[in-house]
Structure formats: structure tokens, C-alpha cells
Chain A
Amino acid sequence: MTDLTKLTAVEIAGLVASGETSAVEVTQAHLDRIAAVDGRVNAFLHVDTEGALAAAREVDTRRAAGAELGPLAGVPVAVKDVLTTKGVPTTVGSKILEGWRPPYDSTIVQRLRAAGTVMLGKTNMDEFAMGSSTEYSAYGPSRNPWDTDRIPGGSGGGSAAALAAYEAPLAIGSDTGGSIRQPGAVTGTVGAKPTYGGTSRYGLVAFSSSLDTPGPCARTVLDAALLHEAIGGHDPRDSTSIAAPVPDVVAAAKLGATGDLTGVRLGIVTEFGGEGAEPGVMAAFNEAVDTLTKLGAEIVEISCPNFGYALPAYYLIAPSECSSNLARFDGVRFGLRVGDDGNRSLEEVMSLTREAGFGPEVKRRIMIGTYALSSGYYDAYYGQAQKVRTLITRDFTAAFERVDALISPTTPFVAFPLGARTSDPYQMYLADLFTIPTNLYGGPGISVPCGLADGLPVGLQVMAPTMADDRMYRVAAALESAVGTLTPPVL
């Protein structure tokens, strides 16, 4: 009998649609897998066994009734705990929301349900999506299935680890500075950040509103494209959502899978060269560049002079927005409340709640952001960072006049050992060095496995113009067709 957990989403959907297996069987197989390995991986913060089986039964019932099923019907999906799920705990990896059961579904989750996917549960993440290793989760780190002493990336390490550990064939992440792509790279999976506004943020617990982008995670490019198609598109409840159809990412992934990139021009960013990336990562990347050339792509070097300012600009904009977004966590209406003994003032209860509920990285960013927005400093920090953002956007626009897409290593280093970078925040921030410019620009980016370095996965990032998400899927699928998917060691 086939191990249902080793199949792609496309394969599972095919078997369910043909009746060779049922959605319930598929779901049960994944729930069993989670029960067997998640003690070692800690990908899930909450497994919704009942809800998953109910959703699976519904798919089976509909199939039995002859209803037409969508391309992902019956496929299990793990959802990053940053998205609200009606009646299902949503913690954002923080103690401050422990026990909170939202009264509403995020748009992404609604669309997942509408597509007939089966939500297995909620995955671990750095608290409020702030981090690159899941070590800032209030519920303990997730572990990389390639080596459980190493990090699975972050903030969406739980979703990536769940894929690599075969606990789920599909997962949802959110990418503010690389939180989908970097975990994808270090776990040997595929992670795509759509164009900002291409996927709805309604129900995504905000970290940095102008950067947060939910997106698909999968083990193959085509699976990611199918998931992207299912969750993407305009949402009237998100004012920043783009009122245009989702680019045809599925067709692009299929086109790319033919392995032909003739006529495609790809740019390598000069400023990313050599700086900060580990030799093993650069070696794997350079090998992938050769592969892309062999597939017919034309490679050019392109200077994006302002990319060097992306990291500092990001660490002003994101904390500024977060300092405001996280103000609502005060113990008044939901979540944790500390010190309400009838004697303390409202201010004291709010302070004690926030003191107890937020972890150190969240507090650090709230303080940085509060400072950056304060009167007298605004222009020098937040205002200046917004100008840098404009310059970075210009770099991208100029680059895309010459090339179809940009490529780079996704992250400068392979999965690092747990604890290796927690003592120095800047070392942690460097993990997003290559992914952050895309967020500041608002365009799409995807990480696709391109090889191994010291036995650990390396990801290649493809960056495309806004609303040209299809281009990156084509390039990623072409590379995947040549490199193949990476298979982690058996847990």
C-alpha cells in the first residue's frame, strides 16, 4: 500500500477524486504521522483531529454525491498559527494569546475550506512572526527534520518542518521579511511569497501590515502553485488586496516543468555576491545557475545599489508598524490578563499583561518601533526608512526592465544549530538578508531547493515583478525539473 504521506498534493487529490482512496484515509494517515513524529519535530501547536476528520468526511460525502471536486479537495494542509481559525486556538506563537479561540475565520482559511482542503492544525512559529528559527516561539522551537538539532527556519518553521517531516503535503505560511522562503530553503521545501496584496491579510494577525504576505508552502513547485491559486485573489475585506485575477501560476509551473527556459533572462544581484553567504551555499547556488543556463536561461549580472540598505530599513519599518499593531494586546478584550486582582489600576493590569505575555524579541521590536515613531525621531528613522523603500523599489523596477526575474540564494546560511544565533539578534536578522528587499518592494519571491551543502538543503530564490508571480513559478519549476525534490532523511 502506498504511503499516503509521501505523496504530493496533486497525487493525493487525484487518488481522492478517482476514489482510490478517501479523504478520511488520507487525513488519518497524516494524523498518524503527526502522532508518530511531532514529538521530535514540534511542528504543530494544535492538531485539530476532530475538525480535520469532519472536513475529510465532507469531501468524501460530496464526492459520493457526484459533486465536482476542486484540484486540492481532500488534501491535508497545515496552517501557520498566525491566521485566525474560527473556534480553533490561534496563538501566534505567543503566551499573550494562549487559549484564544477566534470567533471568525481568516479569508485564507475560508478559501482553504472552500477548496475542500483538510486543515490538520496550526503550526509553530516565532512569536508574532518575529524571528528566523522558531526559537522565539513561546511554545518551544520546532526542529529541522534534516537534523533535529538544527532550526527549521522561521518564522514559519513549523509549516516548513511539517512538510519536510511528511506531516502535511501542503502548508500556509506568512512572509514579512522571508518567513516563508527562508524556512523553505533550510528544510528543502518550496515556499512562495506572493505579490503583496495578491493574498488577503484579513485574519492574519498583523506583525507589519505593509509587509505581511500569506502564501503557500509545499514540497513541489506545482503543489505550491495550486495552493497559491486556491488562496489568492481579491478580498474586499482587505483594502490593500489587489483587485485583479491571480496570475496563472499553475500554468506557469507546468510550463516550467518542461525544463525549457529558452528566452528567459535572469539577473544575479551584484550586491548579494560574496557578502555574508556561506561557501557551501554559494557553491550550490552557482551550480544551480549553471543548471539554469543549461535549461536555456540567459544570466546577467545586475546592480541594485540600494539593496544594502534593505536590512536597516526593514528593521525600522517592521518594528514601527508592529509597535502599533501589537498595542491591542492589553488583556482587556481577549487573551491573557495578568494582575487583575481588584486592587490594581487599569494601566497596571495592561502593563503586567504585556510584561508577562510578550517574549524578549517582541518586546525588543516594540521598543525599537515606539522609539522610531516618536516625535522628533520620526523623520530620521521611519521617514528615512520609507525613502529607502522607495529607492529599493526603483532598483527592482530598473532591474526588471532588463531581466524577467532576479535570482539569489534564499538565505546566506544552511540550517544552523539551535541556540547558535539567539544571543545576538543581528546574527539572526542576517538570515533574511536576501529575502527582505522583495518585501520592501512588494513583489513576489519563491524559494526552491537547489542542492545540498554539507548534507543540508540550500534554496534558490526567484524574485519577480509585482503581479508577475507566474514568472517565478516557471523558473522554479524548471530548476526543480533538473535538480529534483530533496528527500529528507527518514525520521
Chain B
Amino acid sequence: MTTTLPAYDEVVARYEPVIGLETHVELGTNTKMWCGCPTDFGGEPNTRVCPVCLGLPGSLPVANKAAIEATIRIGLALNCSIAQWCRFARKNYFYPDMPKNFQISQYDEPLCFEGYLDVEVNGETVRIGIERVHLEEDTGKTLHVGGATGRIHGATESLVDYNRAGIPLVEIVTKPIPGTGALAPEVARAYVTELRDVLRSLGVSDVRMEEGSLRCDVNTSLNLPGAEWGTRTETKNVNSLRSVERAVRSEMLRQASVLDAGGRITQETRHFHEDTGDTTPGRSKETATDYRYFPEPDLVPIAPDPAWVAELKAALPELPRLHRRRLQEAWGLSDLDMQSVLNAGAVELIEATVAAGATPAAARKWWLGELSRRANETGVELADVGATPAQVAELQGLVDAGKLNDKLARTVLEGVVAGEGTPTEIMTNRNLEVVSDTGALTAAVDEAIAANPGIADKIRSGKVAAAGALVGAVMKTTRGQADAKTVRELILARLGA
């Protein structure tokens, strides 16, 4: 089905979007939510399982206190109220990757509720309402073998890996977000980015979207200005920050084209496709499953001691937004400069580089310059580019000590990224250190003067600018390892200029 989509500008001129986000975060606890099985990623299928997380008859769940604590900390960081008393609930539906054919979740009594998260979009602060933060268990993973699509239809066999079953999962649900207009896709992305940073600062999850430890569902609807909110769709399978933005945009365009044609939006789940940037329909919610929620009778209610909650609140780390503001001040950056640091995902890298001894300016220069360029070229995140903050600081140290000039330092950095060792090792092994022995330099300078008598005469007659040509010649014979400023001084001294 191919239809011509309207232009984005036209869409936002005619319709108002309302978005909402549901984010699932796998907590980084050592053990699963209801049993003592380890949660580490990547084990052989069905090796991190026991009677409890396999849902064997007779087994019972026991709540993981560390997971409850992490959820409360998330709630506190998102300015939520913490329930004084709440219960888990069973969400009943049949699916083979759910060992018990019900998921232990929370229904009308979430652990955390009514909060907000401030995010910045184009220098403006947007307050995103948080409806609830609740704790539940993850499901296993089903692998459909033999079909062309990897989907259940057409598969000859379905294999289930229960290693993930029972890993604590926190669901964070925003309130509907109206009024963002054309910025809706960016607001969605900014929210997930900020949320990810908050979760990372809390140390509750490794928040890796590509490994599925942070998963996002995006709700989108359009309405005419002043009219009631439209029917929303829920887009799943949104697995990167960029995709969050693209998914909202693509769904806005699709819905507009349906509405423009006089159609109506079906309330449904849609799947986002990274390759095309499109969404396609999943199961329709109009024949919605009745989950038959009821309080989980195998667990006792959670009643967090207010004193404990207060302790957790007092011990929260500085939240990323405040932390960034403090760094911006300390680094003396304008809003614009700070924005480029943020856009490059370089805040923590620069911070660590500064902590390792570099000046903020130097750290920023390397991360936003050479290393950002390489990251873009190779299509990796800046943090995964191959250099560590400690190495960058060491490199700058060599420059500051006069052992490397800018060009040599870039060469050394290439070696670092290529994994050849530390900057000092690379400098030594590749013999890249600046030639500072003036005896050797003087010889090279004399050689250059002798080889370029015409230029030498110009300099003698006062045309100092001509010295550049001789400097170039000296740099060439020293393979760039001389300090250009020193060379220039030597030439001028030699020619009495």
C-alpha cells in the first residue's frame, strides 16, 4: 500500500498532535524479580531459569526488594508521589513466552504516580507529565523458526527462551502530551533521551535500547484545532532515540493522509520499521484483550516505610539536567555551545576527560572535533568510537608538554582509535615525538636556506612573511616532527631578520 503522504509543514498547520510515551526499562538488579536467578544478558537459552521463573506448578513469587527500591528511586527522580500501600496485579493473557500465562504487573495501584520530567527542546523547557511508574516482570523471548518473516505466521517451529522471563521491568507512562505542534517528534525524542540519562544517573539500568533494556512505545493522535483529541495508535518496536522521533513523525504523516481522505483512525498497535521508517498495523485494539486484572494473591502488598523513602530521596544523585547546568557554568560554555556538546552525546565524555586532567576547552575540542567526525564516519556512538576520556586527557598532556604538535597529536589519536595502545606508547613506537633538539633543527634550517637562496634573500631584506616557505621545507625534512614556531624563530635568527 503506497499513498502519497502530505508535507509535514502542511500537516502541522492543519492538525494538532497529541503524543504519549510508555517506556519499559529492564532493571539492572543482580537477580530476577521473583526468584534468585541471575539477570545477566547473553546466556545460553534457558540456562537462567528455575521453577519460579518457569512458572512450574506450585512455584511462588517472592518480590525482589532491590527492584522495589530502584522503582521508588525512579519515581522520586521523576518527581512522583510514592504509594504508601499498593499491590501487584495479575494481567491475564495467553502467550507462550509468558510462563504462567499471566504477567505479574501493577494495575490501579502503581508504586509511583503523578510526577513530571522537564526536558529541553530548542532551548525551551517542556514539562512532561508522568502518569505512573510501576513494576512488573519481563516475558521470555519467542523465536519463530522456518517462516520467511520471523513472525509467528508461516513459522514451522516456535522456540522459547525463558532467560529473560521474570527480569524486573519498570513501566513509565507519560500523561498525554498536547500542544507541542510541529515539535512533537523532537519532544518525544528529548523526553526519551532525558529519561535515559536520568535512569543512567540513578544506576538502575544499563538503558541500552539496542539490547532492549530500554524499550519505547509511542502513542500518537491528531485532531483539528479546538476539536477533541483524535483516536490514538500505539507504535511498538521503537528501538533507538532517532526512531522515536521518526516514528512520531511518520505516524503523524500517515494519520493526516488517512484523515485528509475522509477516513478514520483505527485504534491499534502498529510496528515501526527501522529500515523504511514506516509503521505497519499490528493487532487491533478494538477487539481488545480483556486482561482480567485482579490483585496478585501470591504476594503481599508493598508498604514502603516513609522514612526509607525519605532516605532514598535524600540520597538521589544530582539529576542530569541540573548536573548539565552546573557543568555548563564550570566549562564556561554558551547555551549554543552546550547544545552542540549535548547533541554530540559528549557531556559525560568531556566530564571524564576533564576529570582525567585536560582543560574543558581541550576536552571539548577533541570530542566534538576529531572524534565526533570519526564516530559519524563509522556510524558509531561517540562513546564507542575507540578512545577513552583517559586517553584523550593523556594525549592533550603530551601536546601541552610540547611533545606533540597538533598534527602529530591527530596521528597519535588515529593510532589510539585503531587500538595500538596509549598515546605515549604510540608516540614512542611510531617515533612521532616533536624534534626539539636545536642542533638537529639548525642543520635542517641551514639546509633549507642553502636550498632556497632567493627566499632567504627576501627574508634578509625584511620580508619576514616569506619565512613560511622555509618553515614548510624544514617541516618536510623533519617529517612534521619539528615545532613550527621554533623552526620559524631559528630561521629568522639565522637570517638576522
Contacts and interface: CB of A to CB of B under 8 A. Distances in A.
A378 B294 contact: yes
Interface string B277-319: 0000000000000101110011110000000000000000000
Nearest to A371: B292
Interface residues of A, number: 45
A103 B46 CA distance: 15
Nearest to B92: A324
Interface stretch (B54-62, B326-334, B454-462): B54-62
A342 B92 CA distance: 27
Nearest to B36: A237
Contact of A239 (B54, B59, B299): B299
Contacts of B375: none
Interface in B30-71: 51, 54-63
Contact of A205 (B57, B158, B290): B57
Nearest to B62: A239
Given A237-B60, A346-B158, A330 B101 contact: yes
Interface in B99-146: 99-102
A90 to B, nearest CB: 7
Contact of B92 (A103, A201, A238, A327): A327
Nearest to A106: B58
A106 B56 CA distance: 12
Given A239-B300, A324-B90, A102 B61 contact: no
A346 B100 contact: no
Contact of B298 (A236, A239, A320, A382): A239
The secondary-structure label for the interface of chain A is loop
B152 interface: yes
A31 interface: no
A104 B294 contact: no
Nearest to B35: A237
B156 interface: yes
Interface string A249-269: 000000000000000000000
Contacts of A83: 58
A373 B55 contact: no
Nearest to B300: A239
A92 B101 CA distance: 19
Contacts of A61: none
Contacts of B57: 84, 90, 92, 97, 100, 102, 205-206, 328-329, 334
B60 A327 contact: no
Chain B residues touching A, range: 20 to 34
Given A201-B60, A202-B59, A374 B100 contact: no
A302 B94 CA distance: 47
Nearest to A201: B60
A155 to B, nearest CB: 16
Contacts of B156: 342
B304 to A, nearest CB: 16
B451 to A, nearest CB: 83
A239 B54 CA distance: 18
A196 to B, nearest CB: 11
B101 A327 contact: yes
Interface string A369-386: 010011100100010000
Contacts of B63: 239
Nearest to B101: A327
A344 interface: no
B421 interface: no
B60 A238 contact: yes
Given A327-B101, A328-B101, A333-B99, A203 B297 contact: no
A329 B294 CA distance: 19
A244 to B, nearest CB: 14
Given A237-B60, A375-B290, A328 B99 contact: yes
A324 B93 CA distance: 9
Interface in A312-360: 320-321, 323-324, 327-330, 332-334, 342, 346-347, 350
B94 A350 contact: yes
B145 to A, nearest CB: 13
A485 interface: no
B283 to A, nearest CB: 13
Given A236-B62, A237-B60, A328-B99, A382 B300 contact: no
Contact of A346 (B56, B58, B99, B152): B152
Given A240-B299, A333-B56, A347-B94, 10 more contacts: A102-B56, A104-B51, A104-B59, A201-B60, A239-B62, A324-B90, A327-B101, A332-B160, A333-B99, A346-B96
24 contacts: A83-B58, A90-B57, A92-B57, A102-B58, A104-B51, A202-B58, A203-B59, A208-B297, A238-B62, A239-B63, A240-B299, A321-B297, A324-B92, A324-B294, A327-B94, A327-B102, A332-B96, A332-B160, A333-B55, A334-B56, A342-B156, A346-B158, A374-B292, A378-B294
